[in-house]
Amino acid sequence: MADILIKNARIITCKSNGPKMGAEMQDLGVIENGFVAVDNGIITDVGYGEGEEFKVRHTEIIDAEGRLVMPGLVDPHTHLVHYGSRENELELKLKGASYIDILKSGGGILSTVSATRAASFEKLTDKVVSSLDLMLQWGTTTVEAKSGYGLNFVDEVKSLEVLKNVKHPIDIVKTYMGAHAVPTEYKSDKEGYINLMIDRIIPYIAENQLAEFIDCFCEEGVFSVSESESILLKGKEFGLKIKLHADEIEPMGGAQLAGRLSAVSAEHLVAASDEGIEEMKNAGVIPVLLPGTSFYLRLGRYARARKMIEAGMPVALATDYNPGTCPTESLQSIMVFASMGMGMTPQEVISAMTINSAHAINRGNIVGSIEKGKKADIIIMDAPNENYIVYHFGINHVATVIKDGKIVIKDKERQ
Ligand code: IZC
Ligand code: ZN
């Protein structure tokens, strides 16, 4: 018995026992002319043939001939909960202002903080829902989301409560990121802000299970390596898992810190040193690369994905969706930058946005591949093969989205 049977499909399973390491990322575990059976929200079988042994109980049989069936995309790094937008910075940026210059003059993150603090719970929720709707339409079925635009007790808790209470098919993994910037009221007392996080906010968030991860913006002019370390260690003491914005713009030693703390993942890594990459590898830290941000910051350089893959590391990719440095919800857009900017093959890109990104948020045993026993989070792309998705860029290839075994986006052409 099955609720849904997908047949005649080219199935990109992304099957793997753990994250796909280095060269393994090229192997997507493709099943030509296969079927997927779904029952009660779970994948119950995957194989060759039409799955004729499955009688379909409730919903329907999907004939996916000529299409690509893949795991729902997993976005392991977003700043989903924020209010307002920052298109005003576009012109400043084009005139040559750097990201950190804009932040130091009270713009950037801090302008989003003002808008987020002023927004009601309902308004913030509406904005989150409209972004989640877009993500789902573009094929994302699980997303990591950070706080970090409240920067005080009330508004950080508000942001995480919005994520906890929002009703949406997409699964959200929550991260506390109070260490995103120093709020204006603590401008000349950074230590005071760090103490507020350490003494009050982190314990409250952990005890009330408002987040699973803690993250910190370790960057020149934001939080130093030693400040980041004390904040992250406090989170760890309270049971939060560690992520880290490391070496995004300046080579700070963030990658080494991620290795030393055995972080689950370290993100950005554009300026990460050879030693940093080596220490991450030895500690099993997953590199989460954000090439849309390199592009949008006009950095003129990208993280060294090829070096990391050749070193045998399990590279993951994310949008970094945020209102300043990467205002897009679309992982399909990021595919192009990963491929053209960093030289990743379409196969590596898909591994990095499914099984590896699932592991980067501690969901590798539940989502990220089409395998028996996993959640039935499946997308059907109107594309003949995986190369085509990267090749025909800038458009949405998603035809159908199945989330938790329910068809939430229905193929318009074939209804
Ligand atoms: O709002 O600018 N890099 N945090 C770290 C960001 C970008 C988000 C922003
Ligand atoms: Zn980020």
Whether 178 shows a pLDDT value over 90: the answer reads yes
Mean pLDDT (whole number) for 368-389: 97
Mean pLDDT (whole number) for 143-167: 98
C-alpha radius of gyration, the chain, whole number = 21
Q: Would you place residue 208 in the very low, low, confident or very high pLDDT band (cuts 50, 70, 90)?
A: very high
Which of 315, 332, 337 shows the shortest CA–CA distance to 389? 332
Distance CA 294, CA 268 (A): 9
HSE, side-chain direction, 13 A CA sphere, residue 130: 9
pLDDT for the residue 223: 97
How many CB atoms sit inside 10 A of residue 118's CB? Answer: 12
pLDDT for the residue 2: 82
Distance CA 260, CA 218 (A): 14
For residue 109, give the ligand 1 atom closest to its CA: 1
For residue 219, give the ligand 1 atom closest to its CA: 5
pLDDT, greater one: 91 or 149 = 149
Lowest mean pLDDT among 103-107, 219-223, 331-335: 103-107
pLDDT for the residue 319: 98
Pocket test for ligand 1, best of 77, 79, 249 (most atoms within 8 A of CB): 79
> Which ligand has the nearest atom to the CA of 93?
1
Contact 174, 210 (CB under 8 A): yes
Residue 26 Cα to ligand 1 midpoint, Å, equals: 31
Of all protein residues, the one whose alpha carbon is nearest to atom 2 of ligand 1 is 324
Distance CA 177, CA 218 (A): 11
Mark 121-131 as b/e (b = at least 16 C-beta within 10 Å).
Answer: eeebbebbeeb
Which of 255, 256, 179, 262 shows the shortest CA–CA distance to 214? 179
Whether 101 shows a pLDDT value over 90: the answer reads no
Mean pLDDT (whole number) for 197-221: 97
> Which ligand has the nearest atom to the CA of 222?
1
Give residue-wise pLDDT tens across range 33-67.
Answer: 999 999 999 999 999 998 888 878 767 899 999 99
Q: What angle do CA 79, 84, 87 make, to 5 degrees?
A: 95
Cα separations in angstroms, 124 against 70, 120, 146, 150, 213: 32, 6, 14, 12, 21
Whether 415 shows a pLDDT value over 70: the answer reads no
Mean pLDDT (whole number) for 25-31: 98
Direct distance between the N- and C-terminal alpha carbons of the chain, in angstroms, rounded to an integer: 23
Residue 76 Cα to ligand 2 midpoint, Å, equals: 10
Pair of tokens at residue 161: 């409560």
Pair of tokens at residue 90: 């576009």
2-12 vs 30-39, strand pairing mode: antiparallel
SS3 annotation, the chain = CEEEEEEEEEEECCCCCCCCCHHHHHCCCEEEEEEEEEECCEEEEEEECCCCCCCEEEEEEEECCCCEEEECEEECCECCCCCCCCCHHHHHHHCCCCHHHHHHCCCCHHHHHHHHHHCCHHHHHHHHHHHHHHHHHCCEEEEEEECCCCCCHHHHHHHHHHHHHCCCCCEEEEEEEEECCCCHHHCCCHHHHHHHHHHHHHHHHHHCCCCCEEEEEECCCCECHHHHHHHHHHHHHCCCEEEEEECCCCCCCHHHHHHHCCCCEEEECCCCCHHHHHHHHHHCCEEEECHHHHHHCCCCCCCCHHHHHHCCCCCEECCCEECCCECCCCHHHHHHHHHHHHCCCHHHHHHHCCHHHHHHCCCCCCCCCCCCCCECCEEEECCCCHHHHHHCCCCCCEEEEEECCEEEECCCCCC
Pocket test for ligand 1, best of 89, 180, 218, 289 (most atoms within 8 A of CB): 180
Residue 384 Cα to ligand 1 midpoint, Å, equals: 36
SS3 annotation, 134-196 = HHHHCCEEEEEEECCCCCCHHHHHHHHHHHHHCCCCCEEEEEEEEECCCCHHHCCCHHHHHHH
For residue 222, give the ligand 1 atom closest to its CA: 5
pLDDT for the residue 380: 98
User: Mean pLDDT across the chain, nearest whole number?
Assistant: 96
pLDDT for the residue 282: 98
> Which ligand has the nearest atom to the CA of 180?
1
Which of 75, 86, 71 shows the shortest CA–CA distance to 329? 75
Q: Would you place residue 225 in the very low, low, confident or very high pLDDT band (cuts 50, 70, 90)?
A: very high
> Which ligand has the nearest atom to the CA of 296?
1
Pair of tokens at residue 224: 């130093």
Whether 209 shows a pLDDT value over 80: the answer reads yes
Residue 54 Cα to ligand 1 midpoint, Å, equals: 48
pLDDT for the residue 187: 93
Distance CA 146, CA 113 (A): 13
Q: Which residue type does 44 have?
A: T
The set of protein residues with a Cβ atom below 6 angstroms from ligand 1 is: 79, 108-109, 112, 217, 245, 322-325
Whether 125 shows a pLDDT value over 80: the answer reads yes
* Backbone φ, ψ for residue 38 (5° rounding): -125, 130
pLDDT for the residue 53: 86
Of all protein residues, the one whose alpha carbon is nearest to atom 4 of ligand 1 is 180
